[in-house]
């Protein structure tokens, strides 16, 4: 998943997909007025990397349903767009909120309850990914891909044993060398964990304490980057910093034997990107068909091979090469998962995080 910092992310790019996904378009409405809308079109709003070329070809061929894809660049922008959308054909039918936005949107009545009878793919999903606190019983969402941030490093410069704690990034010898993800919550998570605090805290005094701790880290920070953050490691511009597990997979493919990652002893803060249906979606039947397709074995396997993030589909996982499923930097071990946290919605406290985050980035 590509996250962008701040509450106001870049504008969206709409893409019409009928066998390729590079033609700009708005979600269809008038073209299908004569036929049942649910049988002809579905509007998908998901992360850019999650729809590689050709991924939706078979769905359109099998169902006759045209998929209009809009590029999702942040949960905050997605939330605002869905909040404002009407019930017309130009609204989104399937969205891809991260787990902590599922709970927020469900609580606010923004999501439609899923009809599990129309989603047989559920039987293929890892039960350890289901029925989580953010969506008990998976009433509103199904998990697609798992993200876990860790400490990435150039193996020719550093050893994995050099990094056992998030606190290692504060060491003075790393002055001007550390890349952080450009995301307020991801950055504050490491400081809160270093301080032994809840990474999902909403207490202003604890968030402030994390900010003050991050000011001590600031001299070590070379850059903040969530826009294809693996690229700077691949190019050699950066040799140490935060990365998501999917980004590590990309780095390992592009620069074999150069990049690796470890999860610190405090544990990572996990997120899951899900698939859900807005409450006022115009094409719910087509939406269920698309979700079932996107989570299916064949599609899930292709997507993880393409972008590296662990899939929720167990049948797909069984087909993946060991270089992915047996790599603890990509698929966190059971031990790591046990000490991990789930990133949760922090409500209005997100404004406090954002305020301090912008101050942190501006600090010298």
Residues 195-241 pLDDT 10s: 999 999 999 999 999 999 999 999 999 999 887 899 999 999 999 99
For residues 262 and 163, membership in a common domain is answered with yes
**What is the pLDDT at residue 31?**
36
Task: Give me the percent of the chain exceeding a pLDDT of 70.
Answer: 88
Whether 19 is covered by a domain: the verdict is no
Known binding positions for spermidine = 49, 100, 183-186, 343
For residues 127 and 168, membership in a common domain is answered with no
Whether 31 is covered by a domain: the verdict is no
Known binding positions = 49, 100, 183-186, 343
What is the rounded average pLDDT of the residues 91-103? 94
For residues 231 and 348, membership in a common domain is answered with yes
Whether 27 is covered by a domain: the verdict is no
Whether 28 is covered by a domain: the verdict is no
- Residue 108 clears pLDDT 90, i.e. is over it: yes
* Number of independent structural domains in the chain: 2
For residues 106 and 200, membership in a common domain is answered with no
For residues 141 and 153, membership in a common domain is answered with no
Q: Within its chain, how far is the Cα of 161 from the centroid?
A: 28
**What is the pLDDT at residue 16?**
35
Query: Domain holding 120: CATH number?
Result: 3.40.190.10
- Residue 274 clears pLDDT 50, i.e. is over it: yes
List the domain range (segments joined by +) for residue 253. Answer: 149-267+341-362
- Residue 362 clears pLDDT 50, i.e. is over it: yes
For residues 309 and 253, membership in a common domain is answered with no
For residues 188 and 243, membership in a common domain is answered with yes
Whether 34 is covered by a domain: the verdict is no
For residues 111 and 157, membership in a common domain is answered with no
Whether 165 is covered by a domain: the verdict is yes
For residues 141 and 218, membership in a common domain is answered with no
**What is the pLDDT at residue 86?**
60
For residues 78 and 90, membership in a common domain is answered with yes
The CA distance from 337 to 323, in Å, is: 19
Whether 14 is covered by a domain: the verdict is no
Mean pLDDT estimate for the chain: 88
For residues 297 and 323, membership in a common domain is answered with yes
For residues 101 and 123, membership in a common domain is answered with yes
Whether 24 is covered by a domain: the verdict is no
Instruction: Enter the pTM of the model.
Output: 0.83
């Amino acid at each position: 998943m590509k996250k962008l910092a701040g509450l106001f992310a870049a504008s969206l790019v709409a893409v019409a997909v009928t066998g390729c996904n590079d033609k700009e378009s708005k979600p269809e409405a008038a073209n299908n007025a004569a036929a049942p809308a649910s049988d002809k079109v579905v509007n998908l709003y998901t992360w850019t990397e999650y729809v590689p070329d050709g991924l939706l070809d078979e769905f359109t061929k099998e169902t006759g349903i045209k998929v209009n894809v809009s590029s999702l660049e942040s949960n905050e922008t997605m939330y605002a767009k869905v909040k404002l959308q009407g019930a017309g054909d130009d609204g989104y039918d399937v969205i891809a909120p991260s787990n902590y936005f599922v709970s927020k949107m469900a609580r606010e009545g923004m999501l439609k309850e899923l009809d599990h009878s129309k989603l047989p793919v559920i039987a293929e999903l890892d039960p350890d990914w289901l029925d989580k606190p953010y969506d008990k019983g998976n009433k509103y969402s199904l998990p697609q891909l798992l993200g876990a941030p860790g400490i990435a490093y150039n193996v020719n410069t550093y050893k994995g044993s050099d990094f056992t704690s998030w606190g290692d990034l504060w060491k003075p010898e790393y002055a001007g060398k550390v890349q952080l993800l450009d995301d307020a919550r991801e950055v504050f998570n490491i400081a809160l964990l270093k301080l032994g605090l809840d990474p999902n805290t909403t207490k202003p005094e604890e968030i402030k304490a994390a900010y003050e701790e991050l000011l001590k880290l600031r001299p070590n920070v070379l850059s903040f980057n969530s826009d294809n953050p693996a690229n700077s490691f691949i190019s050699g511009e950066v040799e140490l910093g935060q990365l998501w597990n999917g980004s590590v997979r990309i780095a390992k493919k592009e620069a074999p034997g150069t990049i690796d990652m470890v999860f610190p002893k405090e544990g990572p803060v996990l997120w899951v990107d899900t698939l859900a249906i807005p409450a006022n979606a115009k094409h719910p039947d087509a939406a269920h068909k698309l979700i079932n397709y996107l989570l299916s074995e064949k599609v899930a396997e292709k997507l993880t091979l393409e972008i590296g993030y662990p899939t929720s589909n167990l049948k797909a996982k069984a087909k993946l090469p060991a270089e992915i499923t047996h790599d603890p930097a990509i698929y966190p071990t059971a031990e790591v998962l046990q000490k991990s946290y789930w990133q949760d919605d922090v409500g209005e406290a997100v404004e406090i995080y954002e305020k301090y985050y912008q101050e942190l980035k501006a600090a010298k």
